[in-house]
């Protein structure tokens, strides 16, 4: 399983930071007809994204097209177990993507509604945050 991680970054380690507000960009369907939108703020690991991506692709059975709209660019560090305080920041353990309410994580097109709904439902279970299914039709009816 090829894990998602950036080829290179300006800094090897970053501070934790806080996650405020809602999504400014990436909150509308841009490529596909169906999508999965996150409803909570938080962090999604590269492993969770990869598991969700694999679940969608397996359910679609090479029909249609899928887009992954987010990428894990933030390194999370961890110090070894039973290590005393001090002596610097730990080494990079895994990578995460920061998500805010409204962000679209995955989009698919070229498949029937029922197939897309089931695929997104499978992906939703792999992610640690609440998500909802979106379609172009449901968005058109709201406005």
- Give the CA radius of gyration of the chain: 17
Does any domain span residue 25?
A: no
Q: Which residue range forms the structural domain that includes residue 137?
A: 34-79+88-142
Supply the pLDDT for residue 1: 58
Is the pLDDT assigned to residue 143 strictly greater than 70? Answer: no
Does any domain span residue 9?
A: no
Grade residue 55 by pLDDT with cuts at 50, 70 and 90.
Answer: very high
Q: Where does 37-100 have alpha helices with state H?
A: 46-60
Reference 124, options 27, 47, 52; nearest CA is 52
Number of domains in the chain: 1
Question: The tokens 């279970």 sit on which residue?
Answer: 125
To the nearest whole percent, how much of the chain has pLDDT over 70?
A: 98
Rounded to the nearest angstrom, the gap between the alpha carbon of residue 82 and the centroid of all alpha carbons in its chain is 32
Does any domain span residue 18?
A: no
pTM of the model: 0.90
Q: Are 64 and 110 in contact (CB under 8 A)?
A: yes
Two structure tokens written together for 88: 């610097």
Supply the pLDDT for residue 138: 74
Does any domain span residue 66?
A: yes
Question: Mean pLDDT over residues 59-69, rounded?
Answer: 93
Is the pLDDT assigned to residue 141 strictly greater than 80? Answer: no
CATH code of 74's domain? 3.90.1170.10
To the nearest whole percent, how much of the chain has pLDDT over 90?
A: 87
Question: Mean pLDDT over residues 113-133, rounded?
Answer: 95
């Amino acid at each position: 399983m090829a894990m998602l991680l950036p080829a290179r970054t300006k800094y090897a380690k970053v501070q934790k930071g806080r996650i405020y507000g809602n999504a400014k960009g990436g909150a509308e369907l841009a490529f596909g007809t169906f999508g999965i939108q996150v409803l909570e703020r938080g962090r999604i690991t590269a492993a969770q994204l990869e598991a969700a991506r694999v679940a969608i692709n397996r359910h679609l059975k090479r029909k249609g097209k899928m887009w992954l709209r987010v990428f894990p660019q933030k390194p999370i560090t961890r110090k070894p177990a039973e290590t005393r305080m001090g002596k610097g920041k730990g080494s990079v353990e895994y990578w995460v993507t920061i998500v805010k309410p409204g962000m679209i994580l995955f989009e698919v097109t070229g498949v029937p509604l029922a197939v897309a709904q089931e695929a997104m439902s499978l992906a939703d279970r792999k992610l640690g945050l609440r998500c909802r299914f979106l379609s172009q039709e449901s968005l058109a009816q709201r406005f």
